[in-house]
């Protein structure tokens, strides 16, 4: 999106490689957890906007639930790297505007059925805890005069999703089934309810926040709940298949079942930026399925 807006883009990667990026961007190897390095970046490149999206993948939380090293890495990447940038921008008197990608996981086990910017944080994972810390760092530096926009992202899908995420797993399996390459799909909880949105829309929201110099916290969500079964049904419908013939529910594969339903109220964002979701839940799924079909070969012979 920034490329289409004619931005000059500098990306930071620990490996120096970002294979999922087609646009003409300068990707360099670096560690944002090193404060001297962020000082160098701000001084050398004098950025106008910073989008801090770096994070230890949320999908790894349950897998590393009692791993102290994982906890520490999460703190370093999800929060302290952001702190380094905020401090570098402040001490160098840069006018750089900052966007921080937070998460609905900051609400964790909230008792509130719908969450907005006033809902108390109640994280139940290291991921949620680090995102709360990042939000607090932004609030601290707002008091120092920085423009810090926080987007509290709810689930957002696109073809770029990794296969470990349930949405991509469903789409990949359904397409493989339609092509005779797979015969069933096993899922943990079809009744789970999720506030699903389209990732390109959420990126647009992040950009709009900085263009409007909104130094505050904003929920970025669809505000609509759909079950995993709804997602499955629509994916298989796109392929002309009856999902019930191919999908098996196996609750034993759930590593850590969430009892909280997270549904965001993004009315503040919509009011302040005129942002809106560009596609419906069903249209988003059609986009995901069409892309997966374009990436795969024809039916097995």
Domain definitions of the chain by residue range:
10-157+197-220
Q: Would you state the pLDDT for residue 296?
A: 85
Q: Would you state the pLDDT for residue 23?
A: 59
What is the residue-level pLDDT of the chain in tens, covering all 301 positions? Answer: 998 899 999 999 887 666 555 556 788 889 999 999 999 999 999 999 999 999 987 554 455 556 888 999 999 999 999 999 999 999 999 999 999 999 999 999 999 999 999 999 999 999 999 999 999 999 999 999 999 999 999 999 999 888 888 999 999 999 999 999 999 999 988 999 999 999 999 999 999 999 999 999 999 999 999 999 999 999 999 999 999 999 998 877 665 556 689 999 999 999 999 999 999 999 999 999 999 999 986 554 3
Confidence (pTM): 0.91
Q: Confirm or reject CATH 3.40.50.720 for domain 10-157+197-220, answering yes or no.
A: yes
Spatial distance between the Cα atoms of 52 and 116, rounded to a whole number of angstroms: 22
Q: Would you state the pLDDT for residue 300?
A: 46
Structure tokens at 6: 């004619």
SS3 labels along the chain:
CCCCCCCCCEEEECCCCCCCCCCCCEEEECCCCCHHHHHHHHHHHCCCEEEECCCCCHHHCHHHCCCHHHHHHHHHHHHHHHHHHHHHHHHCCCCCEEEEEEEHHHCCCCCCCCECCCCCCCCCCHHHHHHHHHHHHHHHHHCCCCCEEEEEECCEECCCCCCCCHHHHHHHHHHHHHCCCCCCEEECCCCCEEECEEHHHHHHHHHHHHHCCCCCEEEECCCCEEEHHHHHHHHHHHCCCCHHHCEEECHHHCCCCCCCCCCECCHHHHHHHCCCCCCCHHHHHHHHHHHHHHCCCCCCC
Please give the distance of CA 293 from its chain centroid, rounded to a whole number: 24
């Amino acid at each position: 999106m920034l490329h289409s807006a004619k931005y000059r883009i500098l990306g930071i990667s620990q490996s120096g490689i970002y294979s999922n990026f087609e646009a003409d961007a300068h990707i360099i190897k670096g560690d944002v957890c090193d404060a001297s390095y962020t000082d160098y970046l701000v001084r050398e490149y004098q950025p106008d906007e910073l989008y801090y999206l770096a994070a230890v993948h949320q999908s790894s939380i349950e897998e590393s639930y009692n791993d102290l090293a994982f906890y520490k890495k999460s703190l370093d990447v999800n929060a302290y790297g952001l702190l380094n940038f905020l401090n570098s921008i402040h001490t160098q008197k840069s006018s750089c505007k900052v966007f921080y990608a937070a998460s609905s996981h900051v609400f964790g086990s909230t008792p509130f059925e719908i969450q907005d910017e006033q809902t108390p944080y109640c994280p139940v994972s290291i991921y949620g805890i680090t995102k709360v810390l990042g939000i607090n760092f932004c609030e601290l530096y707002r008091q120092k005069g920085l423009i810090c926009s926080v987007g509290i992202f709810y689930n957002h899908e696109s073809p770029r999703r990794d296969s470990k995420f349930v949405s991509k797993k469903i789409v990949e399996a359904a397409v493989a089934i339609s092509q005779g390459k797979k015969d069933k799909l096993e899922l943990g909880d079809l009744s789970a309810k999720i506030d699903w949105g389209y990732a390109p829309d959420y990126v647009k929201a992040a950009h709009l926040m900085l263009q409007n110099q909104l130094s505050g916290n904003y929920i970025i969500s669809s505000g609509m709940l759909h079950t995993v079964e709804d997602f499955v049904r629509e994916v298989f419908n796109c392929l002309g298949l009856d999902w019930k013939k191919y999908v098996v529910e196996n609750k034993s594969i759930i590593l850590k079942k969430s009892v909280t339903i997270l549904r965001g109220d993004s009315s503040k964002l919509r009011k302040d930026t005129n942002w809106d979701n560009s596609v419906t839940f069903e249209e988003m799924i059609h986009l995901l399925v069409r892309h997966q079909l374009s990436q795969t070969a024809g039916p097995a012979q």
